[in-house]
Structure 1
Amino acid sequence: MFFNRRTPQSAARPTGRLRLGTAAVAVLGLGVLTACGGGSGCSSEAPDSTTIKDLVVDVLAEPDSLDPFYRNTAEAQRYYRLVYSSLLQWNEDGTLAPDLAAELPEVSKDRLTWTVKLREGVTFHDGSALTAADVVHTIEQAKDPENGAVWLAAMSYVESATAQGDDTVVLKLSEPYAYLDGKLAMLPIISDEDDYKPNATYATTGNGSGPYALASLKRGDALTLERNEDYYGEPMKFETITFKVVPEDASRIARLTNGDSHIVPDLPTDQVELVTKRNANAVTVESNVSRLFAYPSMKADRPTSNTDFRLAIAYAVDRQRIVDQVYSGAGRPNSTYLTYGTLHHDEDLGLAFGAEPDLAKAKEHLAASGVELDRKFNIIAVNDPQVTSAATILQSNLKDLGIESTVESQDVAGFYANLVSGDYDLILFDAPASTSTGFAPDYVNGGLNSQAANNFAKFADAEMDDLLDVALTAQGEEAQAEAWRAVQQRDVETQGNIQLVVSQSSQAWSKQLVGYEPSALLWLNTLRDVT
């Protein structure tokens, strides 16, 4: 089901706390539309997947670091979700299950004490035993602001973690954080025998307890994993999994249809029909929603540090043109960080800036900002064809507003230093919302809380911080919905990140890969189900 601007879908709101909150959430589980009437079952004569021992996944880019604390991008998570394990695990139907934990946590009546029993006999890839001390070490490293971990905000309400023997961890919370269980399914557990240094200890190596271990890394070419024969869970099907870097769409499609690869997780939506005509499977994954947004620099000498200037941009964007031209209609306009399909998303606020430009309001805010540029405004787009195309549309929109701008495309590694320092105007980025929307609305805290490590734009607003604190600790569906609506309202007023559109992702896979369906989550979670 593609989004449609004239008949926008209402965001389904699951009644259970542990439900996936992604787009078209009523289609739980795999949540896909096949373009060939039967997913991997399109051909009854497809070879058995038992013939595939070495799985090849063609990706647009490799992780710029293998550190599971350093990035939560799609390319990073595809790697470390196979190499590292977490206390809990997300199922495809949106429920939680024990992973390293022997059972679901025991939670005190006041929800301030969480007791986690660990399963026995788990080892890291280096052969050392995984114990409660490793879990405590992991949480302490994630909580240390000096480490700048992407999981800092997720652990912010954990006041202390204590080991009771080798098999029990007790977490004490400062407040009854409503979404801790989901975060325990996200935090990769690392070994306390490794002296963790950010983007150093695990930058090119790995030591997890997951079903696969790092075999080799050839920068710019391929990342290969080998099956962990000592894995505590059910062994996965493939002896090796290789992530092959193939940036060109045409090359990835050709390799898949020629039998050189088995999965293409980043298929442009307008190529689904082409792939199916070439006798491979291709789908648009409804529940995998990506946010296209812009980081505005908050550095005092940058025009985007001015709220009215940011709002001028927000009103000037032709979001529907981006949806139609860049994503072939598989998307919708978006105005708030709390993305369409997420639990507690408010439909009206999510469409606050409209589908088409409102130049009158844009000019009002531009005048109110008092900003008069004596140079060209600079737009950096992450090195992705779709994001770059969207940037050129934004460039045209800004010209209509009277702002001349330039567009340049850069890899994350190229612009990251600028992002951290604030030495830029606007950076366009595309982030899969399912990284968090499958788990809770609290991913917003990571991007808009002034103290969050992954608030890269360094947006700081005291009122937003207070509203986020209320939303993160509100108890009960009604109170949570009200609190998150207030967060969205403040987001519309401030645009700490300027939201543009949300889009659906597509994926292709070989008919030889019998039994495979794309995951409703960001990573290749359903590889576990291939037998």
Structure 2
Amino acid sequence: MAARSMRGAIRGAGAAALAGALAVTASACSSPGGGGSGKGGDSAVVGIAYEPETLSPLLGYGKDGNSKIFDGLLTLDARMGLKPALAVALPEVSADRLTYTYKLRQGVKFSDGRPFTAKDVVFTYTTILDPKTNNPSKGELDAVKEVRASGDDTVVFTLKYPYAPFAQRTVLPVVPEHIAGKQDVNTGDFATAPVGTGPYKLVKWSRSEKIAFEANPGYWGGAPKVKKFTMAIIKDDDVRATRLRSGDLDGAILPPNLAEGFAKDQHKKTYAAKTYDYRNVTLPTGNKVTGDTAVRRALDLAVDRAAMVDKILDGAGKPAYGPVPTGSPWFAAGTERPHDLAAAKKILDEAGWKPGSDGIREKDGVRAAFPLWYLSGDKLRQDHALAYASDAKKAGVDITTQAGTWEVIEPRMKEEAVLAGGGSPGDPDFDQYTLLNSSLAGDGFNNMAHYANETVDKALDEGRKSGDTAARKSAYDSIQRELVKNPGYTFLTHIDHLYVVNDRWDGLTTQTEPHDHGLASGPWWNVETWAPKK
């Protein structure tokens, strides 16, 4: 996973990765309860691949918005534009871009009936920034110097530096001080029994099985027409497809080859979401093979990205040369890498990696071989890993692919490669800082490759702290050029997400999605606005 990397990314976005690590249990394959194909139009059950590690925004849940239980000051529309939520308007920004003032919506209540005020906003942000709070994404609020209430209806943020994308950070969900403030932030039951201002209330969270919601009748935006909404947690792609076909699910996220199986089903529609989601291979510096810059550069050229897009994704994606998609205005033109096996072999030859009798290269007694881990049950990761290993072997590098849960994989990440992923729409700081900053090496799933590059570190700080768009573009261009010279990761593909849903509701759309998806992404990103077809 990676960039807001792995668990750091996943924990934060509400489509978290840890439970993706859990094996499918018998309960996960049983009926999730309520809804299902053919049930009433006011209920829906959808299949997702991962579940959150927590439901507390104080610990990272829903930090990119769309949490369903909660609202932020702002939210994102279908085109990923910012719009007011708990705030009545976009913030007023001072001339020096260091002060952001939000006027709050009046009359909003938490689902327990207590009023929402500016104190709840201040409590949320100050608690997340407290060093004692175990929020892996608190670095995303590094720019905040102070947050204070001005009466009950105004919140003022003062920044340390003019952080350009700060307003987008305020989609972060707001929690009630009167509940969360009375318990230990790290161990209290708010993480599993939250209360918010959002369109839905949590009914039950059965770990590794389902998360059940019911409509919040007092929601300030109007009570949803879908009264019961259940997310069935099904790690295995094939099992999700089977349950969708059997009528046990109303919708599911599926890899391209399985989504294709529903193309002729007149009662289902497939929704494709453009994404920043990439798959990459970590190349840990702690490994004698993957830590060699020559090996990294050779693998970067040996991999056939176009073939992966065609054969693995069925065209639902595009080659990835870094965390920034080629169609983004932040992409550095000229950093595309061709598939060039001859050039890859030449790099290895010149670096002293010579082919042995079996064709696998060696240098100073070290064989060019290493394991590559991927998440069990994730067919896309498996297919990418196998294709990558096949391409590498043609250059004389022997990669052994191995499946495992995150509990198995995480302790090995410092020295062994992982078929990972990441990606966040919007500002490049959101994804690149945690993916590449050397200070975050070994910090959970941040900077999984332990990548260390002084030029990159400097550019990451410049991009984060500069308020000048041209200067920021220059900084992120330099990062992408450094990744050509010394790629700590081999980026493979950017993936379009495919969702298959029963065609019995109006109002379904998709947004441009991050790596973390399924829980609050997909066509159900706006389930509160769905209406049963008449």
Normalised to the residue count of structure 1, the TM-score between the two structures is 0.79
Distance in 2 separating the partners of 1:78 and 1:135: 16
Residue 381 of structure 1: aligned partner: 374
Distance in 2 separating the partners of 1:146 and 1:313: 41
Q: CA-to-partner distance for each residue in 1:345-373, whole Å, 9 max, x for gaps? A: 12421x23548784235515854896753
Q: Does 1:498 align with 2:490?
A: yes
For the structure 1 residues 371 and 205, does the alpha-carbon distance in structure 2 shift closer, same or farther, using more than 3 Å as the test?
Answer: farther
For the structure 1 residues 366 and 375, does the alpha-carbon distance in structure 2 shift closer, same or farther, using more than 3 Å as the test?
Answer: closer
> Residue type matched to 2:504 in 1?
Q
Q: Does 1:514 align with 2:510?
A: no
1:222-261 equivalence runs, <5 A: 222-261=210-249
Residue identity over aligned pairs, in percent, reads: 25
Distance in 1 separating the partners of 2:290 and 2:404: 20
Secondary structure of residue in 2 paired with 1:471: helix
For the structure 1 residues 399 and 411, does the alpha-carbon distance in structure 2 shift closer, same or farther, using more than 3 Å as the test?
Answer: same
> Residue type matched to 2:371 in 1?
N
Residue 421 of structure 2: aligned partner: 430
Distance in 2 separating the partners of 1:203 and 1:374: 47
Residue 156 of structure 2: aligned partner: 170
Between 108-117 and 474-483, the greater mean CA deviation after superposition: 474-483
Distance in 2 separating the partners of 1:189 and 1:455: 25
Distance in 1 separating the partners of 2:342 and 2:205: 45
Equivalent pair of 1:67/1:198 in contact (CA under 8 Å)? no
Residue 82 of structure 1: aligned partner: 68
Distance in 2 separating the partners of 1:274 and 1:242: 24
Residue 480 of structure 2: aligned partner: 488
Q: Does 1:407 align with 2:395?
A: no
Secondary structure of residue in 1 paired with 2:175: coil
Q: Does 1:270 align with 2:269?
A: no
> Residue type matched to 1:287 in 2?
K
Following TM superposition, by how much is the alpha carbon of 1:80 offset from its aligned partner in structure 2, in angstroms?
6.3
Equivalent pair of 1:294/1:497 in contact (CA under 8 Å)? yes
Q: Does 1:190 align with 2:175?
A: yes
> Residue type matched to 1:499 in 2?
F
Secondary structure of residue in 1 paired with 2:231: strand
Following TM superposition, by how much is the alpha carbon of 1:333 offset from its aligned partner in structure 2, in angstroms?
1.9
Q: Does 1:330 align with 2:321?
A: no
Equivalent pair of 1:319/1:357 in contact (CA under 8 Å)? no
For the structure 1 residues 235 and 386, does the alpha-carbon distance in structure 2 shift closer, same or farther, using more than 3 Å as the test?
Answer: same
Following TM superposition, by how much is the alpha carbon of 1:332 offset from its aligned partner in structure 2, in angstroms?
2.2
Following TM superposition, by how much is the alpha carbon of 1:379 offset from its aligned partner in structure 2, in angstroms?
1.0
Secondary structure of residue in 2 paired with 1:252: helix
Gaps of 5+ in 2: 1-36, 354-361
Following TM superposition, by how much is the alpha carbon of 1:97 offset from its aligned partner in structure 2, in angstroms?
0.8
1:295 to 270, 282, 291: 282
For the structure 1 residues 353 and 171, does the alpha-carbon distance in structure 2 shift closer, same or farther, using more than 3 Å as the test?
Answer: farther
Q: CA-to-partner distance for each residue in 1:193-222, whole Å, 9 max, x for gaps? A: 424544765543323321112211222221
Distance in 2 separating the partners of 1:116 and 1:127: 23
Gaps of 5+ in 1: 1-47
Q: Does 1:155 align with 2:141?
A: yes
1:135 to 96, 118, 121: 121
Secondary structure of residue in 2 paired with 1:437: coil
> Residue type matched to 2:264 in 1?
K
Equivalent pair of 1:319/1:356 in contact (CA under 8 Å)? no
Q: Kindly tell me the number of residue pairs found equivalent between the two proteins.
A: 471
Following TM superposition, by how much is the alpha carbon of 1:258 offset from its aligned partner in structure 2, in angstroms?
4.6
Secondary structure of residue in 2 paired with 1:82: coil
Distance in 1 separating the partners of 2:38 and 2:152: 40
Normalised to the residue count of structure 2, the TM-score between the two structures is 0.78
Following TM superposition, by how much is the alpha carbon of 1:388 offset from its aligned partner in structure 2, in angstroms?
0.9
Distance in 1 separating the partners of 2:196 and 2:342: 48
Following TM superposition, by how much is the alpha carbon of 1:414 offset from its aligned partner in structure 2, in angstroms?
3.9
Distance in 1 separating the partners of 2:235 and 2:370: 28
Distance in 2 separating the partners of 1:442 and 1:362: 33
Residue 199 of structure 2: aligned partner: 211
Q: Does 1:54 align with 2:43?
A: yes
Distance in 2 separating the partners of 1:428 and 1:357: 24
Residue 105 of structure 1: aligned partner: 91
For the structure 1 residues 172 and 64, does the alpha-carbon distance in structure 2 shift closer, same or farther, using more than 3 Å as the test?
Answer: closer
Distance in 2 separating the partners of 1:177 and 1:68: 22
Q: Does 1:397 align with 2:391?
A: yes
Following TM superposition, by how much is the alpha carbon of 1:294 offset from its aligned partner in structure 2, in angstroms?
2.1
> Residue type matched to 1:169 in 2?
V
Equivalent pair of 1:507/1:518 in contact (CA under 8 Å)? no
Following TM superposition, by how much is the alpha carbon of 1:142 offset from its aligned partner in structure 2, in angstroms?
3.3
Equivalent pair of 1:66/1:80 in contact (CA under 8 Å)? no
